[in-house]
Amino acid sequence: MIAHILLFRPLRGMSIEDRDALIAAFERALTAIPLIRRAQVGRRQQLERPYENVTREDYPFIAMLEFDNATDLGAYLDHPAHAALAERFFQSIEAALVYDFEMIDSSRVREALVVTGLANSSA
């Protein structure tokens, strides 16, 4: 599975109309592109834990889309509905991080860590 992850901070003072337009573009992409296995959005929760102190920048929102494989992610990225979403997204943000990750089920932790190169295969 491939996870397409966006951490982002909207423009300060963005109008309600612009926020609604961003949401509508996201909804259109989700409806028009059937290759998306799952989509989630969320807002950062701060729990006053020590790890929060090492965060250099605040990205209060996340969007995470899951695809069966890199081919499906590529088709999503090339789809006209995604182009419209990307245009609206980049007009609406102050900062963002966008990453794609190959995900391996955590029930196979050792295998997943070996495949990703984090663990040694002989351990």
Q: Give the pLDDT confidence of 37-50 residue by residue, as tens digits.
A: 999 999 999 888 88
The answer for residues whose C-beta is within 8 angstroms of residue 119's C-beta and 6 or more apart is 110, 113
Confidence class of residue 77 from pLDDT cuts 50, 70 and 90?
A: very high
Q: What are phi and psi of 115, to 5 degrees?
A: -60, -40
Q: What are phi and psi of 43, to 5 degrees?
A: -120, 140
Q: Are 73 and 67 in contact (CB under 8 A)?
A: yes
| Total of domains in the chain | 1
Within a domain: 123:
no
The model's pTM: 0.83
pLDDT at 66 over 90: yes
Q: Looking at residue 38, what is its pLDDT?
A: 96
Range of the domain at 33: 2-116
Question: How big is the chain, counted in residues?
Answer: 123
CATH of the domain at 89: 3.30.70.100
Within a domain: 45:
yes
Within a domain: 121:
no
Within a domain: 122:
no
